[in-house]
Amino acid sequence: MKNNKKILLVMMIGILFSLTLMFASAAESNYCCEKTTAGAWCQNAPQSVCDTSFKTAPTSCDSTSYCKKGCCFDGNEGLCMEGTPQKVCEDSSGTWADNEKCDVPQCNLGCCVLADQGAFVTLTRCKQMSGFYGIKTDFRTTITNELSCIATAQSADKGACVFEDSALLEKSCVFTTRANCNVANLASDVLVNNSEQNFSTGSGFYKDYLCTAPELGTECAPDLKNTITLEGKDEVYFQDTCGNVANIYDASKAKDNAYWTKVYKKSESCGYGDSNAGSTTCGNCDYFLGSIAKKSTGILGIGDPAYGDYICADLSCAEADKSHGESWCAKDEPSGDGKDTVGSRYYREICIMGEVITEPCADYRNEICIEDTFNGFSEAQCRVNRWQDCTKQKEDADCSNTLARDCKWIEGYYFSSNTGQIEKAVDDQTEYGQLHPTPQGLCVPNYPPGSNFWGASETGGFDAATPEFNATTPGFGTGYISPSSDTIDSSVLCGLANMKIVVQFNKTTKPADIFGLFSGNEEWECGNDACERYVSNPSSGIITEAEVQAIATDMNGICSTLGDCGGKTNWVGQYTDDGYAAYLLNKRLAGSGGAEVLESDSSSNAAMSTATTGSTGTSGSDIASTATAVSTLANTAGQISGEVVADIDSSNPIQFRIIIDYFKNMFGIAGN
Tens digit of each residue's pLDDT (9 = 90 or more) over 437-450:
556 788 999 998 88
pLDDT tens, position by position, 141-170: 888 888 888 877 777 788 999 988 766 678
Which of 115-124, 485-494, 513-522, 637-646 holds the top average pLDDT? 115-124
Q: What is the pLDDT of residue 238?
A: 96
pLDDT band at 285 (very low <50, low <70, confident <90, very high): very high
Q: Report DSSP letters for 293-323, one per residue.
A: EEE---BTTBT--SSSSEEEEE-SBTTTTB-
Residue environment code for 81-96, b if the CB has 16+ CB neighbours within 10 A, otherwise e: beebbbbbbeeeebeb
Q: What is the pLDDT of residue 640?
A: 25
Give the domain-ending residue among 79, 106, 133.
106
Phi, then psi, of 183 in degrees rounded to 5: -120, -5
Q: What is the pLDDT of residue 195?
A: 41
Q: What is the pLDDT of residue 488?
A: 54
For residue 208, is pLDDT > 80? Answer: yes
Report which DSSP code applies to 555: H
Give the domain-ending residue among 48, 65, 82.
65
Phi, then psi, of 41 in degrees rounded to 5: -105, 145
Min mean pLDDT across 29-43, 324-338, 451-465 is at 451-465
Do both 207 and 273 map to the same domain? yes
208: left (phi over 0), alpha (psi -120 to 50) or beta: left
Q: What is the pLDDT of residue 367?
A: 93
Average pLDDT over residues 577-597: 70
Do both 557 and 657 map to the same domain? yes
Q: What is the pLDDT of residue 202?
A: 60
Do both 158 and 73 map to the same domain? no
pLDDT band at 196 (very low <50, low <70, confident <90, very high): very low
Higher-pLDDT residue of 169 and 374 is 374
Residue 215 near residue 225, CB atoms below 8 Å: no
Do both 60 and 74 map to the same domain? no
Report which of 382, 386, 372, 387 is spatially closest to residue 346, judged by C-alpha positions.
Answer: 382
Quick check: is 319 in a domain?
no
pLDDT band at 28 (very low <50, low <70, confident <90, very high): low
Do both 164 and 265 map to the same domain? yes
Q: What is the pLDDT of residue 320?
A: 87
Give the domain-ending residue among 106, 134, 166.
106
Quick check: is 408 in a domain?
no
How many angstroms separate the CA atoms of 422 and 420, rounded?
Answer: 7
For residue 397, is pLDDT > 80? Answer: yes
Domain ranges, residue 96: 68-106
Report which DSSP code applies to 510: P
For residue 267, is pLDDT > 80? Answer: yes
For residue 193, is pLDDT > 60? Answer: no
Half-sphere exposure of 271 (CA within 13 A, CB side): 23
Min mean pLDDT across 70-74, 299-303, 378-382 is at 299-303
Q: What is the pLDDT of residue 501?
A: 82
How many angstroms separate the CA atoms of 79 and 663, rounded?
Answer: 93
Count of residues for the chain? 672
Report which DSSP code applies to 112: E
Average pLDDT over residues 425-444: 63
For 661, counting Cβ atoms within 10 Å of its Cβ (0-12 exposed, 13-18 middle, 19+ buried), the class is buried
For residue 201, is pLDDT > 80? Answer: no
Tell me the pLDDT of the chain averaged across its residues. Answer: 74
Report which DSSP code applies to 449: P
pLDDT band at 186 (very low <50, low <70, confident <90, very high): very low
Q: What is the pLDDT of residue 211?
A: 95
- Beta-carbon contacts of 221 under 8 Å, excluding residues fewer than 6 positions away, are 212, 240, 241
Do both 211 and 242 map to the same domain? yes
Do both 285 and 360 map to the same domain? no
Do both 511 and 646 map to the same domain? yes
pTM: 0.57
pLDDT tens, position by position, 356-365: 999 999 988 9
Residue 340 near residue 387, CB atoms below 8 Å: no
How many angstroms separate the CA atoms of 114 and 124, rounded?
Answer: 14
Q: What is the pLDDT of residue 535?
A: 86
Do both 252 and 336 map to the same domain? no
pLDDT tens, position by position, 500-523: 888 888 877 666 556 655 555 677
Quick check: is 223 in a domain?
yes
Do both 74 and 221 map to the same domain? no
Quick check: is 609 in a domain?
yes
Quick check: is 506 in a domain?
yes
The percentage of residues in the chain with a pLDDT greater than 90, rounded to a whole number, is: 24
Quick check: is 265 in a domain?
yes
Q: What is the pLDDT of residue 104?
A: 87
For residue 71, is pLDDT > 50? Answer: yes
Do both 308 and 366 map to the same domain? no
Higher-pLDDT residue of 319 and 238 is 238
For residue 471, is pLDDT > 80? Answer: no
pLDDT band at 436 (very low <50, low <70, confident <90, very high): very low
Quick check: is 542 in a domain?
yes
Quick check: is 493 in a domain?
no
For residue 665, is pLDDT > 50? Answer: no
Phi, then psi, of 169 in degrees rounded to 5: 55, 40
Do both 264 and 380 map to the same domain? no
pLDDT band at 11 (very low <50, low <70, confident <90, very high): low
Average pLDDT over residues 70-77: 87
Report which of 136, 149, 75, 77 is spatially closest to residue 109, judged by C-alpha positions.
Answer: 149
For residue 394, is pLDDT > 70? Answer: yes
For residue 253, is pLDDT > 70? Answer: yes
For 403, counting Cβ atoms within 10 Å of its Cβ (0-12 exposed, 13-18 middle, 19+ buried), the class is exposed
Residue 555 near residue 499, CB atoms below 8 Å: yes
pLDDT band at 87 (very low <50, low <70, confident <90, very high): confident
CA 98-102-103 angle, 5° bins:
95
Average pLDDT over residues 590-607: 42
How many angstroms separate the CA atoms of 35 and 99, rounded?
Answer: 22
Domain count, the chain: 5
